[in-house]
Amino acid sequence: MNNKTIKNAVIYTRVSSVEQAECGFSLARQEEECKEFALKQGCSVSKIFVEKGESAKTVDRTELKNMLEYCAQNKKNIDYIIVWKLDRLSRNMNDHYALSAFLGKLDIDILSATENNQNDAVGKLTRNMLQAFSQFENDQKSERVIAGMKQALIEGKWLWRAPLGYKLIDGELLIDEEKAPMVRKIFELYASGLYKHSCINKYIKKHYNYEIPTVSLYSMLKNLVYCGKMYCPSLHKEVVKGKFEAIVSDELFAKVQSMLGGNRFQALTNRINSAEFPLRQFVLCPFCGTPLTASKSTGSKNKKYAYYHCYNSSCKTKVRIPKNTLEKMFIEFLSTVKPNKECIETVKKSLKEQYSSMSKEFNKNHNDLSKKLTELKSTKDKLVDLYIQGKIDDTIYQSKLDSIKKEENEISITLNELKTPKANFNSCLDYVLNSLENLENLWLDNDLETKQKLQKLIFPSGLIYEETGFRTGSNPWFDIKKGALMAPIFYMVPPREFESLSTP
Ligand SMILES: [Zn+2]
């Protein structure tokens, strides 16, 4: 380091909210030691940047950004950035290299007031090691935080803000006696199947003087917290029973889910819904009309037997049908169910409409994006001209060129990702009609959610089990009104079918 001429430095100090409590990190002390160090080096300090209570993440720090901007603007007058320790500046290797590279371009060196500043191999190694250690420390800290959260979740602790109907007091989720009855009422109203969202909103506004946006109503009805459970797949893959009181019963919650047909449907506990028992809650007991539930029992030699059965305690005849028997019966029954002419016509018409609107949308998007690409190309040509004529300098040229290339790239990717409705319409139609003719295969080939949707679609009021076969409820397949079939059937044909059908 050259001490003969006066050098200029800026000082950067930082303390996170956690560190504020610990000694040895105080901003005043960092600043004092940095100033002392500058004096020893014969530097004059032109500006001090103080970062208070921000996270260790480099991108989140406003003062760091301000300092880098200041450095870029005053690069000729700044020789050093002085920090108390290198970990004040960056907490991971990538950020460290990025910062060093940036400051290197400006011809500004980073000096640590308390660590090795030599610019030789040993000095660099020391600095890199220090950086590596602080990254390790940081990674470990976040691992610990996640592990802690996971543990707390498994123990049944609520880790988030209190949802409507609850209060969070000293980290414990407690029933909000004022709002909980309203939440329960919302579930009951929805489960009755008699009210639309807007009606429920109106009812709640009138009786509880509380307004719930439709979106919140939806997410509320799907929130497992209300039946006393938690599901947070990023921390733990299973549903966890919470250490707090439920506002609605499991049964009520399950009923609402089956009516919503929502995404959380499958996230429920086994007791409520399981891929192993697709007919649970769908086939009805012939004696009391209760939807059958299902479970496994252990027989001799520890062999498991799966059954569908009636769980109504006041039902005199306890129906109990082996899983395989009932499902086989159901599949055979399905194979006898065929769409009538009217239904086929409706599906044809609906598919045609959907196909044509998909094609239109695809063409429009494709044209718009291609047009944008052409425009970018001509902008690029103009830029090159300006550069050749010496009207713009290297830096501007490069940065403009980079941003054009970036945009070009993004558009190309979007273009590639555009879903091409390349399927031949007739083969698509054949596929759907064939699926309708062979409902049993459609049912067998699909996942739990689709199976259950299909069941509900064909037999809206369930099937009554009888030893000799099934009895349909009040709304059999043949009575399905014109149009009622359109959306769901189309929905069940996954878009990928279009593609797989089109490939020879
Ligand atoms: Zn029964």
- 360-372 pLDDT, tens digit each: 877 888 888 899 8
* Residues contacting residue 275 through CB under 8 Å, at least 6 positions apart: 266, 447, 448
Same domain, yes or no, for 29 and 110?
A: yes
Q: What is the mean pLDDT of residues 272-299?
A: 83
Q: 497 and 447 share a domain?
A: yes
pLDDT, tens digit, 9 for 90 and up, residues 423-445? 567 777 777 778 778 888 888 88
Active site residues: 16
Which residue type sits at 427?
Answer: S
Q: Identify the residue with better confidence: 348 or 134.
A: 348
Does the residue 171 lie in any domain? yes
CB 113 within 8 A of CB 89: no
Q: Are residues 186 and 73 in the same domain?
A: no
Gap between the Cα atoms of 282 and 193, Å rounded: 16
Q: Does 495 have pLDDT greater than 50?
A: no
Domain boundary among 234, 252, 267: 267
Q: How confident is the model at residue 460 (pLDDT cuts 50, 70, 90)?
A: confident
Give the number of residues written for the chain: 504
Residue 118 above 80 pLDDT?
A: no
Residues 116 and 67 grouped into a single domain: yes
The rounded Å distance from CA 254 to ligand 1 centre is: 19
CA distances from 323 to 117, 236, 277, 401 (A): 74, 30, 8, 65
Ligand 1 centroid to Cα of residue 309, in Å, is: 8
The answer to whether residue 410 is domain-embedded is no
Query: What per-residue confidence (pLDDT) applies to 184?
Result: 94
Strand order, beta sheet including 320-322: 293-298, 304-309, 320-322
Q: How many independent structural domains does the chain possess?
A: 3
CA atoms within 13 A on the CB side of 77: 8
What pTM was computed for the model? Answer: 0.37
User: For 92-105, what is each residue's pLDDT tens digit?
Assistant: 767 777 788 888 88
The answer on 117 and 69 residing in a single domain is yes
Residue 492 has pLDDT above 50, yes or no: no
For range 474-481, the mean pLDDT: 39
Q: Which two tokens stand for residue 394?
A: 């290297």
Which residue, among 88, 125, 129, has the nearest Cα to 110 in the 3D structure?
Answer: 88
356 and 460 in one domain? yes
Taking only the tens place, the pLDDT of each residue in 8-33 is: 999 999 887 666 545 456 788 889 99
Angle, CA 150 vertex, CA 145 and CA 156 arms, to 5°: 130
CA distance 13 to 213: 45
What residues have a C-beta under 5 A from ligand 1, the ion? 285, 287-288, 290, 310, 312, 315
Q: Is the pLDDT of residue 486 over 70?
A: no
Q: Are 153 and 239 in contact (CB under 8 A)?
A: no
> Which tokens is 120 given?
């030789």
Question: 292 alpha carbon to ligand 1 midpoint, in Å?
Answer: 8
Q: What is the pLDDT of residue 374?
A: 92
Q: What is the pLDDT of residue 408?
A: 86
- 277 located within any domain: no
Residue 457 lies in a domain: yes
Q: How far is the CA of 11 from the centre of ligand 1 (A)?
A: 79
pLDDT of residue 161: 86
Please give the distance, rounded to the nearest whole angstrom, from the Cα atom of residue 281 to the centre of ligand 1.
12
Alpha carbon distances (Å) from 307 to 128, 184, 298, 471: 64, 32, 11, 20
79-93, 319-333, 413-427: the lowest-pLDDT one: 413-427
Nearest to 185, CA basis, from 120, 256, 235: 256
Domain of residue 226, CATH code? 3.90.1750.20
Own/partner contacts of 125-128, CB < 8 Å, gap of 24 or more, are: 127/86, 128/93
Asked if residue 323 is part of any domain, the answer here is no
Distance between Cα 286 and ligand 1 center (Å): 7
Question: How far apart are alpha carbons 431 and 421 in whole angstroms?
Answer: 15
471 CA to centre of ligand 1 in angstroms: 15
Is it the case that residue 181 has pLDDT exceeding 80? yes
Instruction: List % helix, strand, coil for the chain (3-state, nearest 5).
Output: 55, 15, 30
β-strand 80-83 against 109-112: which pairing, if any? parallel
User: CA 152, 158, 160: angle at the middle one, nearest 5?
Assistant: 110
Q: Is residue 336 part of a domain?
A: no
Q: How far is the CA of 291 from the centre of ligand 1 (A)?
A: 8
Residue where one domain finishes, among candidates 267, 291, 322: 267
Q: How far is the CA of 102 from the centre of ligand 1 (A)?
A: 75
* End-to-end Cα spacing for the chain: 71
Rounded CA gap, 192 and 101, in Å?
A: 65
Strand, helix or coil at 270?
Answer: coil
40: left (phi over 0), alpha (psi -120 to 50) or beta: alpha
pLDDT category, 185, cuts 50, 70, 90? Answer: very high
d(CA 490, CA 436) in angstroms, rounded, equals 11
pLDDT at residue 476, rounded to an integer: 41
In terms of residue numbers, what domain contains 219? 166-267
**Do residues 123 and 196 both lie within one domain?**
no
24 falls within a domain: yes
Q: Pick 473 or 318 by higher pLDDT.
A: 318
Is the pLDDT score of 301 beyond 70? Answer: yes
Whole-number average pLDDT of the chain: 78
pLDDT at 459: 79
Report CA(321)–ligand 1 centroid distance (Å). Answer: 12
Question: 47 and 123: one domain?
Answer: yes
Residues 129, 228: one domain? no
Q: Which two tokens stand for residue 428?
A: 């698509």
CA of 461 to the centre of ligand 1 (A): 16
Half-sphere exposure for 432 (CA within 13 Å, toward CB): 30
Among 213, 238, 267, the domain-final residue is 267
pLDDT band for position 119 (50/70/90)? low
Q: Above 50 in pLDDT, residue 266?
A: no
Residue 247 lies inside a defined structural domain of this protein: yes
CA 102 to chain centre: 35
Query: Long-range pairs for 191-198 at CB < 8 Å and ≥24 separation?
Result: 191/252, 191/255, 191/256, 191/259, 193/259
| Residue the block writes with tokens 């067998």 | 444
* Structure confidence at residue 48 as a pLDDT band (50, 70, 90): very high
Window from 197-211, 218-232, 269-283 with minimum mean pLDDT: 269-283
List, for residues 49-80, the tens digit of each pLDDT value: 988 765 656 556 788 888 988 998 998 899 99
Is the pLDDT at 84 greater than 80, yes or no? yes
Question: Are 464 and 493 contained in the same domain?
Answer: yes
- Nearest-CA neighbor of 197 among 253, 249, 260, 252? 260
Name beta bridge partners: 80: 9, 109
> H-helix or E-strand containing 140?
helix 121-154
Q: Within this chain, do residues 114 and 199 fall inside the same structural domain, yes or no?
A: no
pLDDT grade for 174, boundaries at 50, 70 and 90:
very high
My answer on whether 80 and 227 are in the same domain is no
CATH of the domain at 58: 3.40.50.1390
More confident residue, 245 or 398: 245
Closest CA to 459 of 285, 347, 333, 345: 333
Interatomic CA distance for residues 35 and 31, integer angstroms = 6
